Structure 1
Amino acid sequence: MIIKGAMVCDANGEQRGDVRIEEGKIIAVERSIMPKSGEEVLEAENLVLLPGAIDLNTRVENSTLSKENLLKLSHKAARGGISQAVLIPDCKPTTSSELGLELLNALKDDFKAQILGISDAINAENPKSLNELAILHKKGAKGIFAKSNIDGNLLRRACEFALMFDEPMFFSCEDESLSANGVMNDGELSSRLGLPSIPTLSETKEVAQISEVARFMGVKAIFLALASERSVEIVCEAKNANLSLKPSQQKIPNLFLQTSIHHLMLTEDLCNHYNTAAKIKPPLKSESTRAKLLRRVKKGEIELITSLQSAKSQEQKDLAFEEAAFGIDMIECFVPMCYTLFVKNERMTLRDLSRILSLNPANVLGFQHKGLIQEDYDADLILIDPKETCIMDNPDSPYNDWIFYGAVKEMFVEGKRCLGFRANHS
């Protein structure tokens, strides 16, 4: 197949040209490629070709692991321009088992976007022991997930396994004793609404602890969905502290910061009138914090963006604010949301967008042939129309009446077309 006439963009630059795909790989990227007899040609004039986005922080609907929910997540992710999605294992039943990972492998051919499993460090049946991390690694786990309140000795051993397997650690940073029954950000609005709040300290103190452990152990660490500017500052300080050591003592800083697209677009004001659509975790913050996080992204200090996908049924959302579930279901609009915010509104380049959405997460996962549009790379690609808009018409969404640019027209995962855009044959 040839994708013809698109603006081809990745983290290395932009050029108008053609891309040939064979057996799931990118074979050629040139100004013009002549089709072979009978070769499929996808006319992509006025469209932009990007590497597929990679989301390192997604969950199945209602945190319930089933074939139906996995397929639903995969199809929604593909429509949102995501080629790979990491599934956080805090679901029931958990993916942190041989059966859970085998289910992902069994559904691989039915997936649109690939769903990747990671293992929970802690054994759910015996919280005082580690999972069989070596076995789960052999079964295909792409990393190890840990909550920040994990026992220190177990955390050290989990880090040792991660180093042994050259896997990243995925950290959820929250002091649950501080956040307790909190349902929104701690501030003036929570006081006015009379709602129990979640203090920023519940995140920042845990980030400080985990950044020190990760830096000491030398493990590759992803700080999932940080929502506090102080948390970002702490991790950046940990990275910079390494540079002050003697060369013989230095370790390569492998700390990676992630925030959600929602914390860059929305604020806690949406919780007004007890709007449960805006109840997500970590909670939405003030406009001041939103602007500071966005500046950190533009400076390259926050390297990863997530959809924070965690769909909840209306039965779990249509309740009093304190009783409603945390969660948001916007993964189908992920790339258009990112394009609208970063490129359309903030004037970032497509090169920078591609680095954040594709190359950085590919590097974190150790994928050497994903994240760029180059020869011998996997054909994980999306075609977007930068001028086509979509108006959100959903009263149950915090983005109701918002307009997004950059509609996803086609998705390829290892060369396999997912969305059915029409093509011609030479």
Structure 2
Amino acid sequence: MIIKGAMICDANSEQRGDVRIEGSQITQVSRSILPRENEMILDAKDLMLLPGAIDLNTRVSNATLSKENLLKLSTKAALGGITQAVLMPDCNPTLSSELGLTLLDALQDDFKAQIIGIAEAVDMESQKLNVLASLHKKGAKGIYVKSNMDGNLLRRACEFALMFDVPMFFACEDESLSANGVMNDGELSSMLGLPAIPTLSETKEVAKLSEFARFMGVRAVFLAIAAQHSVEIVKYVKSTLETHQSRIAELFLQTSIHHLMLTEDLCANYNTAAKIKPPLKSESTRKQLVKSVKKDEITLITSLQSEKSLAQKDLAFEEAAFGVDMIAYFMPMCYTLLVKNEHLTMKEFSKILSFNPANVLGMQHKGLIAPGYDADLVLFDPKSSQVIDDEDSPYCDWIFNGSVKEVFVAGKKVL
């Protein structure tokens, strides 16, 4: 198949041309490709061709691991221009079991966007290290750590990550500080009379885990960072990195698209659609986080997908569940903010959404449009727009620029 006449945009270049796909891979990229006899031609004039986005932080609906919820997540991810999603293991039943990973593997042929799993370092019931070697063999592509786990177990988990050459995924929260909180600690939480989550619950854990990562020499993602001081902490640690045991730590900061677009003001009137964890912050923090993305200090963006049913959201603010369901609009949301509003180039846009997360996962054949790379591709129409008319969405009545037209995973059209 040849995708013809698209504006081809990846982390290396922006050029109009043609792309040939054979099997699951890209085999040719050129200004113009002469079709072979009976070769399928897809006219992509006026469209952009991008590597599929990779989201490193998603969860299934209501944190319930089931075939139905996995298929739903996969379909919504593809609608949002995501061709690969990393599923967090903190669900029920846990993904950190051979049974959970076997279910994930069994559904691979049914998925639209690929879903890969990671293993939680510690079994929550026994508080002992999970059998990480077995889980890695079953397909776990990384190790998930809650920052308040035992230090010795954390060290051992890092050793496994080094052994298997997989990333660590750090969830940075001091649960003793944030346990009863439901929104950001500030004037608004006081005015609403709601228990708050202090920024300290994130930043102190970022400081601890960044030092751990530096010392152990691991590749680490700081998940869904929402405090600018967390960025400064990691920047400082990265400036002091030295080789340890023949490895230099690689530290990646991730934030969510919601923390780049929304503020805590949305929580006024006890709007549970804005109840997200980590909590939405002030406008000044939002602007600082956007600047950090533009300065290449925050290099990963997530949809922070965590769909919750209306039964869990349509409650008093304190009782309602944390969560947001916007993954189906992920690429248009990012395009609207980063390209239309903040004037990033399409190369920078593609680097953040595709190349950087592929690099984190150690997937050398994803994230670019070049011969030998996997044909995980999105045709994107930058001239269209769409209005969010869901009254239960934090983006109700928002207009997003651009729309996903077609999605290919491993050369197969899935949308």
Shorter-chain TM-score bucket reads over 0.9
User: Is 1:180 aligned to 2:150, yes or no?
Assistant: no
Partners of 1:295 and 1:334 lie apart in 2 by 20
Q: 1:281, CA displacement in angstroms?
A: 0.1
Residue of structure 2 in register with 1:84 after alignment: 84
**Matching residue's letter, 1:116:** I
What's the offset of the Cα at 1:250? 8.5
Would you say the 8 A contact 2:21–2:375 is kept in 1?
A: yes
Taking the aligned partners of 2:7 and 2:321, their CA distance within structure 1 comes to 42
1:342 counterpart letter in structure 2: L
In structure 1, C-alpha distance between the alignment counterparts of 2:363 and 2:207, rounded to whole Å: 28
Report the Cα offset of residue 38 of structure 1: 1.5
Matched, 1:95 2:91: no
Q: Which residue of 2 aligns with 1:424?
A: none
CA contact (8 A) 2:142 2:166 kept: yes
- Structure-2 residue corresponding to 1:392: 388
**Which residue in the other structure is 2:167 paired with?**
168
Secondary structure of 2:383's counterpart equals strand
1:360-379 pair list within 5 angstroms: 360-379=356-375
Counterparts of 1:415 and 1:249 in 2: how far apart (Å)?
40
Aligned to 1:307: 303
Match of 1:275 among 250, 265, 271: 271
**Is 1:383 matched with 2:375?**
no
Letter in 2 for 1:86: V
Mapping for residues 262-341 of structure 1, pairs under 5 Å: 262-341=258-337
Q: Provide the rounded CA distance (Å) in 1 between the counterparts of 2:69 and 2:244.
A: 49
Equivalent in the alignment of 2:254: 258
Q: Deviation per CA, 1:368-406: give whole Å up to 9, x if none.
A: 100000001000000000010000101111101111112
Q: What letter matches 2:20 in structure 1?
A: R
2:340 is equivalent to residue 344 of structure 1: yes
Q: What's the counterpart of residue 230 of structure 2?
A: 231
CA distance in 2 between counterparts of 1:41 and 1:280 reads 44
Code of the aligned partner of 2:270: Y
- Aligned twin of 2:355: 359
Alignment of 1:63-82 (within 5 A): 63-82=63-82
* CA gap 1:250/1:293 in 2 versus in 1, 3 angstroms: farther
Looking at structure 2, the residues matched to 248 and 179 of structure 1 have their Cα atoms a distance apart, in angstroms, of 34
Matched residue type, 1:107? L
In structure 1, how many angstroms separate the alpha carbons of the residues matched to 2:299 and 2:48?
22
Q: Relative to 1, partners in 2 of residues 1:219 and 1:248: Cα closer, same or farther, differing over 3 Å? A: closer
**d(CA) in 2 for partners of 1:14, 1:201:** 42
Q: Is the 8 A contact 2:216 2:249 kept in 1?
A: no
The residue number in structure 1 matching 2:195 is 196
Partner of 2:157: 158
Q: Is the 8 A contact 2:218 2:248 kept in 1?
A: no
Mapping for residues 81-160 of structure 1, pairs under 5 Å: 81-127=81-127, 129-160=128-159
Amino acid at match of 1:360: N
1:409 is paired with a residue whose SS is strand
Match of 1:19 in 2: 19
What is residue 43 of structure 1 aligned with on the other side? 43
Q: In structure 1, what is the Cα distance between the partners aligned to 2:245 and 2:39?
A: 56
**Cα distance in 2, alignment partners of residues 41 and 248 from structure 1:** 51
Residues 199, 227 of structure 2: 8 Å contact kept:
yes
Q: Mind listing any 5+ residue stretches in structure 1 that lack a counterpart?
A: 420-426
Report deviation, 1:138: 0.6
Provide the rounded CA distance (Å) in 2 between the counterparts of 1:251 and 1:40.
Answer: 47
Contact between 2:217 and 2:245, CA under 8 Å: does it hold in 1?
no
Name 1:403's counterpart in structure 2: 399
Displacement, 1:165? 0.3
* Matched AA of 1:388: S
Compute the displacement of 1:252 (Å).
Answer: 2.4
Q: 1:12 aligns to what SS in structure 2?
A: coil
Letter of the 2:174 counterpart = D
CA RMSD of aligned residues (A): 1.0
Q: AA paired with 1:114?
A: Q
Q: Deviations over 1:132-175 (max 9, x none)?
A: 10001111100000100010000000000000000100010000
Alpha-carbon offset, residue 180 of structure 1: 1.4
Q: Are the aligned partners of 2:215 and 2:244 in contact in 1 as well (CA < 8 Å)? A: no
Q: Deviations over 1:187-239 (max 9, x none)?
A: 00000000000000000000000000010000111000000000011011000
> TM-score, length-normalised on structure 1?
0.96
One-letter amino acid matched to 1:109: D
Map of 1:423 onto structure 2: none
Instruction: Encode CA deviations 1:113-144: one digit per residue, 9 max, x unaligned.
Output: 000000000023311x1101000111110000
1:8 has 2:8 as partner? yes
Cα deviation, 1:295-317, whole Å, max 9, x if unaligned, reads 00000000100000000000000
The question of 1:206 aligning with 2:205 is answered: yes
CA distance, structure 1, for counterparts of residue 73 and residue 244 of structure 2:
46
Aligned CA distance change for structure 1 residues 41 and 273 (closer, same or farther; 3 Å): same
CA distance 1:182–1:248, shift in 2 (3 Å): closer
Match in the other structure for 1:422: none
Q: Counterparts of 2:191 and 2:40 in 1: how far apart (Å)?
A: 61
Residues 258-313 of structure 1, C-alpha deviations (whole Å, 9 max, x = no match): 00000000000000000000000000000000000000000000010000000000
What SS does the corresponding residue of 2:75 show, helix, strand or coil?
Answer: helix
Q: Count residues in correspondence.
A: 415
Secondary structure of the corresponding residue to residue 240 of structure 2: helix
